[in-house]
Amino acid sequence: MTLPAPRFVRTPFFRRLAGRKTDRVRLTFDDGPHPAHTPAVLNRLDRYNVRATFFVLGNRVPATADVVRRIHSTGHAVGNHTFTHPQPQWFGFRAAFDELAGCQQAVAEVIGERPTLFRPPLGRWTLPLRWACRRLGLTPMGWTLDSGDWRVRSADDAGQCAAELLAAVRLGDVVLLHDYHPWIGLILDVLLPELSARGLIQPGRVPSA
Ligand SMILES: [Zn+2]
């Protein structure tokens, strides 16, 4: 298949949404945790001693509690990505609050801490989501470079996805990836060595909001 090129959203607006400036590249993983693929991601990050942010879905947390504990205990950040990943439509204030609060609760029950970062499904904001985010004291975090990894369907696609990311990535980027994806390990196998060789990921550094 032909993959779409990585999408850039490096406008000042998205830069601001992406969070505090970083002097490296920040890796973020959405839609997990997955019982097999997330540990595969963690193994690879461990190998390079690199920390990332995982935006988890609250309804996947109870069945993957050990994985969430491992994310947290190994120094990665656990972020809020809602409870059920609702489609970005104009659902109401109450529903938005329940989605965010449900994820906060699910994570807190497993690691004893509530997330401090929030990323909306598909990165799309609605007024109720903004209100709920603020009300719960969460810091919004977007991305500046979308890997398009969810379209990968083969090892060739994975290599192509990683190569396109490597051609596009710059210092300061916040990269969107998905750990709920069977090919994410192969993508990282190409991505991480090269990012490390270029000095774009800094070993041992814990990401901050
Ligand atoms: Zn998502």
pLDDT tens-digit series, residues 18-33: 555 555 899 999 999 9
Look at residue 77 and tell me if it is in a domain.
yes
Q: How far is the CA of 84 from the centre of ligand 1 (A)?
A: 10
Q: Specify the number of domains making up the chain.
A: 1
Q: How far is the CA of 176 from the centre of ligand 1 (A)?
A: 10
Look at residue 27 and tell me if it is in a domain.
yes
Look at residue 127 and tell me if it is in a domain.
yes
Look at residue 203 and tell me if it is in a domain.
no
**pLDDT tier at 203 (50, 70, 90 boundaries)?**
low
Look at residue 2 and tell me if it is in a domain.
no
Instruction: Using the structure block, give the residue that is written with the tokens 């906060």.
Output: 104
Given the residues 76, 81, 85, 178, the one annotated as active site: 178
Question: What amino acid occupies position 26?
Answer: R
Known catalytic membership, residue 30: yes
For residue 87, with 0-12 CB atoms within 10 Å meaning exposed, 13-18 middle and 19 or more buried, which class applies?
exposed
Residue 208 has what pLDDT? 46
pTM of the model: 0.88
105 and 76 in contact (C-beta within 8 Å)? no
Q: How far is the CA of 198 from the centre of ligand 1 (A)?
A: 28
Q: How far is the CA of 78 from the centre of ligand 1 (A)?
A: 14
**pLDDT tier at 209 (50, 70, 90 boundaries)?**
very low
Q: How far is the CA of 163 from the centre of ligand 1 (A)?
A: 23
What DSSP string describes 59-70?
Answer: GGTGGGHHHHHH
Q: Count CB neighbours of 162 within 10 A.
A: 23
119 and 140 in contact (C-beta within 8 Å)? yes
Instruction: Using the structure block, give the residue that is written with the tokens 């993983």.
Output: 29
Given the residues 30, 146, 149, 173, the one annotated as active site: 30
Residue 1 has what pLDDT? 42
Q: What is the extent of the structural domain holding 85?
A: 7-197
Residue 178 has what pLDDT? 98
Residue 23 has what pLDDT? 59
Distance, in Å, from the CA atom of 165 to the CA atom of 2, rounded to the nearest integer, reads: 15
Known catalytic membership, residue 37: no
Q: How far is the CA of 85 from the centre of ligand 1 (A)?
A: 6
Look at residue 209 and tell me if it is in a domain.
no
Distance, in Å, from the CA atom of 147 to the CA atom of 95, rounded to the nearest integer, reads: 29
pLDDT in tens, 124-177: 999 999 999 999 999 999 999 999 998 999 999 999 999 999 999 999 899 999
Look at residue 204 and tell me if it is in a domain.
no
Look at residue 145 and tell me if it is in a domain.
yes
CATH of the domain at 178: 3.20.20.370
Name, in order, each residue with C-beta under 8 angstroms of 138's C-beta and a sequence gap of 6 or more. 80, 100, 115, 116, 117, 118
Q: CA 131 from chain center: how many Å?
A: 21
